[in-house]
Structure 1
């Protein structure tokens, strides 16, 4: 089969011929319907050898959905042909976060040989993908696997970030979404779906601001005007929740200056920025945090929102032989929503 693989660190991935894996034990072989294209893959491609315990080559793609193709003799609970989403954060299963259902915060991530399909182990940018256990699969009857694929990360990460601060999103509250890209456009929808909060969206691209408006944002603002506008729109107090999906110096400064006292700032974007901390300028009792992906329970709730029509990923499809183009478009910032690689 064809697979889009990272062959060496700091080298462009390429399309390769590999054998179709056969499931054993409790493993499940998935025929991939769609694999989302994530910015974190760009960081992975550029990392130097030795930074992670992962060993190339491996197939990229950690946002995956498709159909059960075959099951190992010990795999139960699904049948051939069932449409499924793949939960992507594969923890060790024995550390405290994993045992409490928070595989996304596995304490052994830094030393593990892989942390998911496409993350040190073969992922979904191929015709087939081997999943180690049925517990990583979620039924998606009635949904299109191509549209579901980005929900397993882009929507899940956004949902988890919002859910952790849901208590501050009371009636009359405001949530600010900085960066209306692959995750941010879903965050706008998530906030509107699960809370009464007003949403202010911030982005440098007019087209992305228009997308945010169409998806339910109450106000869209250019970053040049955002700092003053957010304070003005919140009667001088700042927003209850600020979500930064960029993580640059500029957006972190905007985010930290826009959160109100006892509010929450969640940093999701890995833009390499630094957060300046001054005692006199940080809102009192504001909670600053960084989140990563989401839990299995979160994914079940995300899929329910999708079935109810409350959230929908805006996608652009690419065949497997154009996966490199999808990453180039992501790198250049010319995508709206999420790119999805469709192997067949």
Structure 2
């Protein structure tokens, strides 16, 4: 089968991956399933993997097939698989978990002590077929296109996970700020609108992104390049600040907004990454706000997100590319030229 493989870490996205012919995976354990990939979302994390930024956090053996936002049709199952069958159309939770460690029994899939992460630590879905496990696949309702929904396997569930934490403490009329209305942010904004009665303000440097935010339920939009963010948020909230801020950018300049825009006792959720937090401890003491990280999400949260998609509450802006265009997609994303999410469609 054809697969897009990383052979060496590089900053050159033009030649980051190569299309190789490799063996099709087969079930190696009784709970394994093989999925014929119909759609695999490209994520900013894929660019970071190519650059080698993940080597300090996980073990990676090259060459490796990338792709961790996967959906398609099950074509083979292990001997003890009971909950899905050949022919089922599924979306794949990003990680393969053991189901037996304490974190799994608590439902914390991302903290599994024996986790495998296709596309990050094992071969992923930028290929014709993907090996994963029964615990990782969620059958799709009739009428849900696996190509369109594929990016929800990571981008969607990550945005949903952050929003779900925020909406637990958002009361009707409270204020929430979404920073960045791109590939993740446009999903998060829709989840926030569907799951809360908060007043939503969206920040983005691009006019088209702010227009998109308007159409997706934002009550206010802010251009950080021409407006003082703290002043505008202060005016919108009558000086109280936003109870919840969801940062889909995660750069130094966006994490630095927190002391000036988060209401006392509120949260600044960091979803996008790559920047740093440079705040004196007294800022957190004075405002008693928190920075909160976001690491993908639970299996059950992906189920919940699929329900929102089926109901029409959340939709994706996607563009499709052939597997052979994989490096073109990487370059486009590197230069901010992809709106919404790019989806790779293997042959």
Given the two structures, how large is their TM-score scaled by the length of structure 2? 0.92
Range moving further from structure 2, 300-309 or 74-83: 74-83
Contact 1:313-1:338 within 8 A present in 2 as well: yes
- Residue equivalent to 2:272: 269
**CA separation of 1:16/1:256 partners in 2, compared to 1, >3 Å: closer, same or farther?**
farther
- Residue equivalent to 2:230: 227
Give, in whole Å, the separation in 2 of the partners of 1:181 and 1:49: 22
Q: How do 1:110-149 residues align onto structure 2 when only pairs under 5 Å count?
A: 115-131=116-132, 133-141=133-141, 142-149=143-150
Q: Is the counterpart of residue 185 in structure 1 residue 191 in structure 2? A: no
- Residue equivalent to 2:61: 55
Contact 1:256-1:265 within 8 A present in 2 as well: no
Shift of 1:48: 6.7
- Residue equivalent to 1:159: 160
Shift of 1:97: 2.4
- Residue equivalent to 1:288: 291
Which of these residues, 30, 37, 58, is aligned with residue 32 of structure 1? 37
Give secondary structure in 2 for the equivalent of 1:44: helix
Shift of 1:95: 4.2
Contact 1:260-1:283 within 8 A present in 2 as well: no
Q: Is the counterpart of residue 15 in structure 1 residue 16 in structure 2? A: no
| CA deviations over 1:143-164 (Å, ceiling 9, x no partner) | 0001111111111001111111
Give secondary structure in 1 for the equivalent of 2:5: strand
| CA deviations over 1:32-89 (Å, ceiling 9, x no partner) | 1110111111111111796331211111100000011111222222222211000113
Give, in whole Å, the separation in 1 of the partners of 2:290 and 2:277: 17
Contact 1:200-1:221 within 8 A present in 2 as well: yes
Q: How do 1:235-250 residues align onto structure 2 when only pairs under 5 Å count?
A: 235-250=238-253
- Residue equivalent to 2:151: 150
**CA separation of 1:136/1:200 partners in 2, compared to 1, >3 Å: closer, same or farther?**
same
Q: How do 1:60-75 residues align onto structure 2 when only pairs under 5 Å count?
A: 60-75=66-81
Which of these residues, 307, 315, 318, is aligned with residue 315 of structure 1? 318
Shift of 1:288: 1.9
Task: Please report the RMSD computed on the Cα atoms of aligned residues, expressed in angstroms.
Answer: 1.8
- Residue equivalent to 1:81: 87
Query: Structure 2 stretches of 5 or more lacking a match?
Result: none
Q: Is the counterpart of residue 218 in structure 1 residue 219 in structure 2? A: yes
Give, in whole Å, the separation in 2 of the partners of 1:68 and 1:44: 27
Give, in whole Å, the separation in 2 of the partners of 1:286 and 1:311: 29
Give secondary structure in 2 for the equivalent of 1:204: coil
- Residue equivalent to 2:109: 103
Contact 2:256-2:279 within 8 A present in 1 as well: yes
Contact 1:21-1:29 within 8 A present in 2 as well: yes
Which of these residues, 300, 322, 325, is aligned with residue 328 of structure 2? 325
**CA separation of 1:39/1:251 partners in 2, compared to 1, >3 Å: closer, same or farther?**
same
- Residue equivalent to 1:4: 4
- Residue equivalent to 1:46: 51
Shift of 1:282: 6.0
Give secondary structure in 2 for the equivalent of 1:117: coil
Contact 2:7-2:62 within 8 A present in 1 as well: yes
